[in-house]
Amino acid sequence: MSAPPVLELRQLAKSFGGARALRGVDFDLRPGEVHALLGENGAGKSTLIKIVTGAHQPDGGTIKVGGSEVSGLTPSSAHKLGIACIYQQPALFPDLTVAENIALRLEPGSALRRVAWPERQSRANDLLRRIGAAISPAAEVRSLSMPEQQLVEIACALGAGARIVIMDEPTASLTQKEQHLLFAVVRDLRKSGVGVIYISHRLEEIFALADRVTVLRDGESVGTSAVSEMNEAGLIRMMVGREMTQIYPPSDATPGEVVLTLRDVGCTASGVRGVSFEVRAGEVFGLAGLVGAGRTELARILFGITPADSGEIRLNGETVAISSPQDAVARGIGYVPEDRRRHGVVLEMPIEENMTMAVHRRLFPGTWLQFGAERLLAQGFIHDLAVKCTGPAARGGSLSGGNQQKVSLARWLATKPKLLILDEPTQGVDVGAKSEIHKIVRRLAKDGLAVVLISSDLPEALGMSDRIGVMRGGTLTAVLPGNSDAPTVMAAALGQAEKGST
């Protein structure tokens, strides 16, 4: 007889105002199981997790933890029941050390309690060593990279002895090496009888780690199945409710004149050196490579954030010095950055202001603010990019990840660029939104825009690029045809290929 579920949800319902977020969701998690939770953005995954962790109260349904029904869950009571959640954006105190952050999660609070500093350091060391993280317990959190902060969050959950661990897009900011460490930790948790709810848009991770998968669509659970009985096409069909035969639409643009030329471009401060390639109008030029290869650093050079200090940059045949983002915009360059929450969309601002902030001088040339012009421009982009929202006045934070990315894209399209740099344009968005963004990119290229597309998703880089530049260690190791295969690109990323023609 199999062990009872460590978590059981039956007919869970939740509404916000008139909007139904969950409509009778069923879900269960067994001890020693990795149960994947999938669905497009807006399908109800975040609401479900917030209910399980006590952040939201359900309107209906039952929750059982360890076989016992619970009600009125709060974050504190969920923690005491052994429920831990590792979010995509770590919730750590930046001015405290790693050991102090771990202690805040694990030690009882008391004003009169004496702090055992050596014990804190030793416990933090043990937890970090257990997950293979080479992080000093004495390091301030603000000095850590996002991947390192993610690993500290995992150490906190392990130290708390959690019976139910929820991982929400845990690999979104991890390097390949750190992903392997995380997968090893997940497998260790499974062996020790911990139940893991694993949320990811990366389907390859689901097939590598999960035992079962439950798919949510429009607030409902549409199916639960053993991963061994599913394939990628079937999962996508369950998530979006339709076939996705054209995730990567074929290129139908004819490359035109050379828009961008780089000759031995470098920046000492960012570690980029000797980069040379060309991008033509109507072409999608992919930049592939492992995390840390220098792709984002190169994008920042082209946008004038960290200007080049060697080599030559030519735009439309003219040698230029791009010393600031203002220079870049004035010369027809747009840049959609990797971290849309920090640099892409201002969550508290309306969609219309987000979309038009890069063209305020054009919209408001005099002393009068022409809000009608701003709204008209935003409405056009909402229609053209199929942004799902209640209107131009809706806050950026009210949108799903894919729609936030469209708003960020609209901001730079409003500048009417000749060259558009897209850094991880589909990171953290669901397969349906990915498909829409890919179609938009193809349409922009067909209209004559030159596109530089940076992607850590190798199938995306292969499927979307007319040519692929591969970076390693801050330099370009190869320029390959868009129809290259994955082993060829990976060989170049690992430094096992010679430079191709530009």
Tokens of 470: 């591969």
Residue 5, phi then psi, degrees to nearest 5? -60, 145
Distances (CA, A) of 32 to 128, 197, 215: 22, 11, 20
Q: What is the pLDDT of residue 266?
A: 96
Distances (CA, A) of 254 to 17, 259, 446: 49, 14, 7
Model's pTM, two decimal places? 0.61
Tokens of 448: 């004559």
Residue 191 has a CB neighbour count (10 Å cut-off) of 9
Long-range (24+ apart) CB contacts under 8 A made by 483-491 are: 486/458, 486/459, 486/462, 489/288, 489/458, 489/461, 489/462, 490/458
Cβ contacts of 478 within 8 Å, gap of 6 or more = 469, 470, 492, 497, 498, 499, 500
Q: Does residue 200 contact residue 230 with C-beta atoms inside 8 Å?
A: no
Residue 196 to residue 162: CA distance in whole angstroms: 10
Q: Does residue 70 contact residue 9 with C-beta atoms inside 8 Å?
A: no
Q: What is the pLDDT of residue 317?
A: 94
Residue 240 to residue 42: CA distance in whole angstroms: 11
Residue 270 to residue 268: CA distance in whole angstroms: 6
Q: Does residue 302 contact residue 291 with C-beta atoms inside 8 Å?
A: no
Handedness of CA 462, 465, 469, 474 (dihedral sign): negative
Q: Does residue 265 contact residue 311 with C-beta atoms inside 8 Å?
A: yes
Residue 23 to residue 46: CA distance in whole angstroms: 14
Q: Does residue 311 contact residue 360 with C-beta atoms inside 8 Å?
A: no
**For the chain, which residues score pLDDT lower than 50?**
1, 244, 498-502
Q: Which residue has the tokens 């994947």?
A: 36
Helical H runs in 331-457?
351-356, 360-363, 371-384, 401-413, 431-446
The letter for the amino acid at 6 is V
Residue 122 to residue 99: CA distance in whole angstroms: 9
Of the candidates 141, 193, 173, the one whose C-alpha atom is nearest the C-alpha of residue 5 is 193
Q: What is the pLDDT of residue 112?
A: 54
- E strand or H helix at 32: none
Of the candidates 318, 343, 187, the one whose C-alpha atom is nearest the C-alpha of residue 259 is 318
- Domains in the chain with CATH codes: 7-240 (3.40.50.300), 258-346+417-493 (3.40.50.300)
Q: What is the pLDDT of residue 200?
A: 86
Rounded to 5°, the CA angle 67-72-73 comes to: 65
The DSSP annotation for 155-187 comes to HHHHHTT-SEEEEESTTTT--HHHHHHHHHHHH
